[in-house]
Amino acid sequence: MTKNTRIENGLEKRHAVDARCISGNRLAEAPKVSYLFRQVRANNRQLHQMTIGKAGKRKANKAERLVHGYQLFDKVQYEGQTCFVFGRRKTGYFDLRTLQGVRVHKSASHKKLILLERATTWLVDIQPEGGEGRLLP
């Protein structure tokens, strides 16, 4: 039914257009932006590493939460591009990626980052007109 409605009205094949056809409001104006959502973990629940060290004690599996004021999944701007912190190092270098998983920079310095939003369990990114608001697996 959605395909027939789209063809009858001469609409292009896009997720947002299909949603409008299903809703019955097929002639509505196309959205200017789409939102991309991704859920991420809030904490690292593995408290200790599996290997047992000397004296029978296991080493804690904890990295510092804040490194130079940034933490995992913070939304930052790097050289004019919006991305998210997906990895951090004590030295102040970060692995930056988009929500689709495309690597922006493997090891970007904290000096070149601008904090846009603090991390939450839901990451939200705005896609330009024509971008799909779905995350591919």
Strand partners, 43: none
Mean pLDDT of the chain: 85
8 burial (CB, 10 Å; 0-12 / 13-18 / 19+) is exposed
Residue 129 neighbours by CB distance under 10 Å? 10
State the pLDDT at residue 54.
83
Residue 58 has pLDDT above 80, yes or no: yes
> How far is residue 23's CA from residue 4's CA, in Å, rounded to a whole number?
14
**pLDDT recorded at residue 79:** 95
pLDDT tens by residue, 91-125: 999 999 999 889 999 999 999 999 999 999 999 98
Q: Model-level pTM?
A: 0.71
What integer is the mean pLDDT of 46-71?
A: 86
User: What is the rounded CA–CA span in Å between residue 111 and residue 88?
Assistant: 14
Tokens 């056809």, residue located: 21
